[in-house]
Amino acid sequence: MGVDGGMKCVKFLVFFFNFIFWLCGIALIALGIYVQIELNKTLIMTGPASASAAPIVILSVGVIVFFISFFGCCGAIKENYCMVTTFAVLLTLIFLVEIAAAIAGYIFKNQIRSVINTEVQAEMQNYKNNTHVAKALDDLQMKYSCCGAHNYSDWFSVPAFKPNHVPLSCCKNGTDCVNNPTINNTYTEGCVTKIEVWLQKHILIVAAVALGIAFFELLGIVFACCLMKGIRSGYEVM
């Protein structure tokens, strides 16, 4: 029967696209964990509205996509109308949330620099009072070859430091510039810019992955609706 063969194909496509979603969910979970770990190594978050929100959102979406795709695969295999319908509705909601998140991300993208600047400035003020913060900031400056929030002179206004002094982690090539920082022996670029560039690079990766997932989600919704129609009409799709 022609329709029967067509529904078998739709059933296979629903299963195939759900498998793709499942892999994408795993990829988002891994990416979210990686970005979170890197940020934790870079910044000691001091406020609730910090840059750490981004990897948490990525991780959450990955977990949701992972479970929804698993649910969709079971519905397709069992040819269960209720499960396939639930999958289509949840996938549509996820698609709409992704669109809303993309719009919000574009609107608030300029706030990223402000958040990073606030975090770095807070770490600098606590440098001498918290060894954990000091280590994180030293690692940050050495990893990104940067010094201070915007440049090495930012350290001059930190009360805990002597005038015209910087941490040893600001020095180029292991030299000692603590007492006499200059543009020749000290990293001159600020850490805020370096972190912002790093985040923008990874946000582009996330955007590309999200765009690919959105494309497959649209196809998945269409095929799920077709499978729902076939199951409801009583066609044999085994």
In this structure, are 181 and 96 located in the same domain? no
In a domain, 165, yes or no: yes
Same-domain pairing of 96 and 159: no
Residue 135 belongs to domain with CATH number: 1.10.1450.10
Residues 79, 93 share a domain: yes
Could you give the number of structural domains in the chain? 2
The answer to whether residue 237 is domain-embedded is: no
Q: Is the domain of 128 the same as that of 15?
A: no
Instruction: Check whether residue 159 and residue 72 sit in a common domain.
Output: no
User: Which 3 state secondary structure label does DSSP give 204?
Assistant: helix
Write out the DSSP string of 226-237. HHHHHHHTT---
d(CA 172, CA 83): 60
155 and 41 within one domain: no
Kindly state whether residue 126 falls inside one of the protein's structural domains: yes
Model confidence pLDDT, tens digit, residues 170-198: 998 877 888 888 888 999 899 988 888 88
Same structural domain, 90 and 7: yes
Does one domain contain both 184 and 147? yes
Query: What is the distance between the alpha carbons of residues 93 and 99, in angstroms, rounded to a whole number?
Result: 10
Supply the pLDDT for residue 47: 46
Please list the rounded mean pLDDT of every run of 10 residues in the chain (238 residues): 59 78 79 72 50 65 78 76 82 80 69 80 87 87 90 88 87 84 90 83 70 77 80 58
Does 104 lie in the same domain as 214? yes
41 and 158 inside one domain: no
- Identify whether the C-beta of residue 155 lies closer than 8 Å to the C-beta of residue 170: yes
Q: What pLDDT is recorded for position 175?
A: 75
Residue 164 sits in which domain range? 112-192
Judge if 68 and 120 occupy the same domain: no
Say yes or no: 105 and 155 in one domain: no
Q: Is 4 helix (H, G, I), strand (E, B) or coil?
A: helix
The predicted pLDDT at position 54 comes to 60
* Predicted confidence (pLDDT) per residue in 79-98, tens digit: 777 878 888 888 888 888 77
